[in-house]
Chains A and B, each alone.
Chain A
């Protein structure tokens, strides 16, 4: 008996060890590029291409940060990205939540719930590039090229279907009796939505918001076509702009790229506690 137990314990140790090893490999694969960008952003140009590679910056410098954020308008780009991402996220989550709730809860004649849901999703079935020329013409017609509003409208068009579907499936998972109880307790439908469904859907809201925020923060293609001016361009366009005909400014790209990660990471940390599910545990049944 004793031997068997020891053997299984070693086995368990080995299993656990290999699991940690796998996690370590995955972590290195994911985090190394981020680290490399961060490290490069603090190096002089010559050190970026040093052979053998300089794993840790030997002579750290803030030169590239100065170039990117003081001499060049990366601060402006960051602000544009921020405004566009926040605008898109707020609009998409607000309307996506209401639309999702309506699709999850209300009854429709015939098969309309299914048809409308499918139609909403179908708008995402073509690749965004297909819509670029129509969008360009549209914004040109309304004199909205080179504006942040145009970006917000375009991004919302792509985020809203996803937000709607995510919130729809989230509301469908919530027990309907909770809202019925609120309605019988004297609340209106809207009140039941605001007081009961919405607080319980917080994890869903957080997930949807992160999703929308990351999509708009990273978006490149639409922004490239719709915006040309410093006043309207976003970070990804600004960063790509440092790959020029004569040279690629790796230092600046690294500095701006590294700073571009920061807001998303902060936001993800802020909302991650809401992402934890199980808020609706204990709602029904004893």
Chain B
């Protein structure tokens, strides 16, 4: 039972501001993902909860207790490190049991809990092994087991899946999500992988340069990006972002005209539209927003990604898997105007219309 709250937290390393005036409340039992590119301050934010970094200014609370000056051992949080940080000189059993041994848990209880946790992460046959005798996936499980062997108030996970291969990562992702649901422990999860963020989180905080760009459910973040950064960061393939000008609700750029933006005017604007909201049409169709030549056609299996040459840049659209266009062929494009976003290029914020 724990909520975590950041009140105007700033963290500086010398002159460098890693986290700037950070405000966030993580609810009890919530799975919150801090998502952002490397160097955005997400790991620093999490390490401040663990007590491995001190906030320069501002307050951090677990429930109603201010923890800025509380030693890590009294914070009752558990952390899974990106590198797993398994103790190389201790067996799997001693690794998992380390937090219990420190807390002087009686021997029977100790045995019982390690057995239970080891079964849960399927390590019960390897308790006597050393970390170096385990595969990457197994080490990951040991790290996880060490975190869940006591029931902490908060789980902190620092890119725990990034060292695993793609297949194992997908599998562990599902297991993590299930585990968090079962244990009902507040979790802060740091990643730069937007798929992980979208699939795992109850809420995502997208971070950039030490501040939260946007906080919301994965669906909100995807469907309703508030800033240019979020729009460009979330989604694969990335959202098409085309610079241009808006006059009286009509966006215009080289060869492209899209109406339907009310009556607004922006001198320097960026049009954002996701590949799935751009549709291929015949080049002769009078309703198309754009006619351009095909740059490449990539079949992914479930659908086809088509890139079009638009001025000096490429525009991607997600077409049907049976799409039959050829490179250099002229193609008409229709944009779903109710699914497009306009951003002010100066402020990088979204302009509603």
Contacts and interface: CB of A to CB of B under 8 A. Distances in A.
Contacts of A285: 83-84, 163
B136 interface: yes
Contact of B78 (A175, A185, A191, A281): A185
Interface in A168-203: 175, 177-178, 180-188, 191, 195-196, 199-200
Interface string B74-100: 000111010111111100000000110
A259 B43 CA distance: 59
Interface in A205-245: none
A184 B87 contact: no
Nearest to A177: B85
A183 B87 CA distance: 12
Contacts of A184: 50-52, 72, 77-79, 156
Nearest to B131: A282
Contacts of B87: 178, 181-182, 196, 283
Contacts of A187: 73, 98, 102
Nearest to A202: B89
Contact of B86 (A191, A195, A283): A283
Contact of B88 (A191, A195, A282, A286): A282
A270 interface: no
B73 A283 contact: no
Given A180-B81, A191-B102, A286 B139 contact: yes
B140 interface: yes
A280 interface: yes
Given A185-B98, A191-B102, A199 B79 contact: no
A279 interface: yes
Contacts of B84: 284-286
B135 interface: yes
Given A186-B73, A187-B102, A175 B83 contact: yes
A209 to B, nearest CB: 19
A283 B137 contact: no
Contacts of B52: 180, 183-184
Contacts of A199: 89
A285 B84 CA distance: 7
A194 B81 CA distance: 21
A200 B89 contact: yes
B88 A200 contact: yes
Contacts of B50: 180, 184
Size category of the binding interface on chain B: 35 or more
B299 interface: no
B267 interface: no
A187 B71 CA distance: 10
B132 A188 contact: no
A182 B97 CA distance: 11
Most-contacted residue by chain A among B84, B88, B99, B133 (CB, 10 A) = B88
Contacts of A200: 88-89
Interface string A253-286: 0000000000000000000000000011111111
A286 B163 contact: yes
A188 B89 CA distance: 19
Contacts of B146: 181, 185
A75 to B, nearest CB: 40
Nearest to B156: A184
A284 B158 CA distance: 14
A87 to B, nearest CB: 29
A283 B84 CA distance: 8
B85 A175 contact: yes
A201 to B, nearest CB: 10
B131 A283 contact: yes
A175 B84 CA distance: 11
Contacts of B167: none
Contacts of A195: 98
A191 B163 CA distance: 28
B76 to A, nearest CB: 8
Nearest to A282: B132
Contacts of B131: 282-283
Interface in B143-198: 146, 156, 163-164
Contacts of B83: 175, 177, 283-285
Query: 5 closest pairs, A vs B, by CB?
Result: A286-B136, A282-B132, A284-B83, A181-B85, A283-B88
22 contacts: A175-B85, A178-B87, A180-B50, A180-B85, A181-B85, A181-B146, A182-B87, A183-B51, A183-B72, A184-B50, A184-B52, A185-B78, A185-B98, A185-B99, A186-B102, A188-B71, A191-B102, A199-B89, A283-B85, A284-B85, A286-B84, A286-B137
Interface of B: 50-52, 71-73, 77-79, 81, 83-89, 98-99, 102-103, 130-137, 139-140, 146, 156, 163-164
Given A177-B81, A281-B132, A285-B163, 18 more contacts: A177-B83, A178-B87, A178-B88, A180-B50, A180-B52, A180-B81, A184-B51, A184-B72, A184-B79, A186-B99, A186-B103, A187-B73, A195-B98, A279-B89, A282-B86, A282-B130, A284-B85, A286-B135
